[in-house]
Amino acid sequence: MEEKHSDGDRDFKLFLLAGLFAGIGAGINTSIFNNYLNDIFMLSESVRGFLEVPREAPGFFIMLVLAVLSFAGDVRIAMLGMAAAGLGMLGLGLLSPTFAVMIIWMMMYSLGTHMVMPVTPSIGMSLSKLGSFGARLGTISAFGLFGSIIAYVFVFLSFHFLNMTYQIAFIIGAVFYVFAALAVGLMKKGEPKARKVKFVFRKRYALYYVLAGVSGARAQIFLTFAPWVLIKVFNVQPQMFAILGMIVAFVSIGTRKIIGRLIDVRGERFVLTVEAALLFAICLGYAFSADIFPVGIAAVIIAACYVIDNSMAAVEMARSTYLRKIAVDLDDVTPTLSTGVSLQHIASMVIPIFGGLLWAAFGYQAVFMGAAVIAFLNFILSRRIKIELDPAAKAE
The pLDDT tens digits for 164-199 are 999 999 999 999 999 999 999 998 866 666 666 666
What is the predicted pLDDT for the residue at 2?
47
pLDDT in tens, 82-134: 999 999 999 999 999 999 999 999 999 999 998 888 778 777 767 766 555 55
Average pLDDT over residues 247-264: 80
CATH class of 198-396: mainly alpha
Q: CA–CA distance from 223 to each of 9, 40, 147, 355, 368 (Å)?
A: 36, 20, 21, 12, 12
267: left (phi over 0), alpha (psi -120 to 50) or beta: left
Predicted local confidence at residue 36, as pLDDT: 94
Question: What are the start and end residues of each CATH 1.20.1250.20 domain in the chain?
Answer: 1-197, 198-396
Most confident region among 61-70, 214-223, 296-305 by mean pLDDT: 296-305
pLDDT exceeds cutoff 90 at 263: no
Q: What's the pLDDT score for residue 392?
A: 42
Give mean pLDDT, residues 306-313: 86
| Residues counted in the chain | 396
- pLDDT of 204 > 50? The answer is yes
What percentage of the chain has pLDDT greater than the value 70? 88
pLDDT at 391: 46
213 near 347, Cβ under 8 Å? yes
Report the CATH architecture of 1-197.
Answer: Up-down Bundle (1.20)
For the chain, the three-class secondary structure string (H helix, E strand, C coil) is: CHHHHHHHHHHHHHHHHHHHHHHHHHHHHHHHHHHHHHHHHCCCHHHHHHCHHHHHHHHHCHHHHHHHCHHHCHHHHHHHHHHHHHHHHHHHHHCCCCHHHHHHHHHHHHHHHHHHHHHHHHHHHHCCCHHHHHHHHHHHHHHHHHHHHHHHHHHHHHHHHCCCCHHHHHHHHHHHHHHHHHHHHCCCCCCCCCCCCCCCCCHHHHHHHHHHHHHHHHHHHHHHHHHHHHHHCCCCCHHHHHHHHHHHHHHHHHHHHHHHHHHHHHCHHHHHHHHHHHHHHHHHHHHHHHHHCCHHHHHHHHHHHHHHHHHCHHHHHHHHHHHHHHCCCHHHHHHHHHHHHHHHHHHHHHHHHHHHHHHHHHCHHHHHHHHHHHHHHHHHHHCCCCCCCCHHHHCC
Please give the pLDDT value at position 196: 60
Rounded CA-CA distance 234/185 in Å is 43
Cα 246 from Cα 256, distance rounded (Å): 15
The pLDDT of residue 366: 93
Please, are residues 259 and 336 in contact by the beta-carbon 8 Å criterion? no
* Higher-scoring residue by pLDDT: 265, 275: 275
Q: Which amino acid is at 213?
A: G
Q: Which residues have a Cβ under 8 Å from the Cβ of 187 and sit 6 or more positions away? A: 11, 14, 15, 75
Task: Give the pLDDT confidence score for residue 6 in this predicted structure.
Answer: 58
Percent of the chain with pLDDT over 90: 37
pLDDT of residue 24: 95
pLDDT band per the 50, 70, 90 thresholds, residue 396: very low
State the pLDDT confidence band at 390, using cuts at 50, 70 and 90.
very low
> Of 11-20, 226-235, 272-281, 307-316, where does mean pLDDT reach its minimum?
307-316
Q: Which tens digit of pLDDT belongs to each residue from 336-381?
A: 777 777 788 888 888 888 998 999 999 999 999 999 999 999 999 9
- Which of 315-324, 354-363, 379-388 is least confident? 315-324
Residue 29: predicted pLDDT: 95
Q: Quick one: pLDDT band at residue 393, thresholds 50, 70, 90?
A: very low
